Copies of this chain bind each other. A is one copy, B any other.
Amino acid sequence: MTDINELDTPAVLIDLDRVEANLSRVQAYADSHGLKLRPHIKTHKLPRFAKRAIALGAVGITVQKLGEAEVFADAGISDIFLPYNIIGPAKLARLKALHGRIRIAVTTDSAETVEGLSRTFAGSATPLTVLVECDTGMGRCGVQSPAAAVALAEKIANSPGLAFGGLMTYPAAGQVEANAAWLAAAKQALTEAGLPPSVVSNGGTPDMWRAHEVAAATEHRPGTYIYMDRSQVARGAGTFDDCALTVLATVVSRPTEDRAIVDAGSKALTSDLLGMTGFGLILAYPEAVITGLSEEHGTIDLSACASKPKIGDKLRIIPNHACVVSNLFDRVTLISGERVVETVAVDARGRVD
A sample of 24 inter-chain contacts (CB < 8 A) reads: A8-B90, A8-B91, A8-B353, A11-B353, A42-B296, A84-B263, A85-B252, A87-B250, A87-B252, A113-B311, A135-B255, A140-B261, A140-B297, A141-B297, A144-B256, A266-B270, A267-B324, A270-B270, A270-B271, A271-B271, A271-B273, A271-B324, A295-B327, A330-B350
C-alpha gap A336/B258 in the complex (Å): 49
B-side contacts of A256, CB under 8 Å: 144
A139 at the interface (CB under 8 A from B): yes
Verify if A329 is at the interface (C-beta below 8 Å from B). yes
Question: How many angstroms between the C-alpha atoms of A251 and B273 in the bound complex?
Answer: 26
Interface size on A, residues (CB 8 A): 58
State whether the Cβ of A268 lies closer than 8 Å to any Cβ in chain B. yes
Cβ-based interface call for A65 (8 A)? yes
- The complex places the Cα of A90 from the Cα of B88 at a distance, in Å, of 47
Residues on B with C-beta less than 8 A from A9 are: 88, 353
Q: Please state if B65 and A255 are interface contacts (CB–CB under 8 Å).
A: no
CA gap between A310 and B144 in the complex, in Å: 17
In whole angstroms, what is the CA distance A197 to B350 when docked?
43
Measured CB to CB, the closest approach of chain B to A135, in angstroms, equals 6
How far is A330 from B351 in the complex, measured between Cα atoms in Å? 9
Task: Decide: A42 near B144, CB < 8 A? Known: A87-B311, A139-B259, A255-B135.
Answer: no
Other contacts beyond A87-B312, A270-B270: 9, CB < 8 A: A8-B88, A10-B352, A85-B252, A139-B259, A141-B252, A270-B271, A271-B272, A295-B323, A350-B350
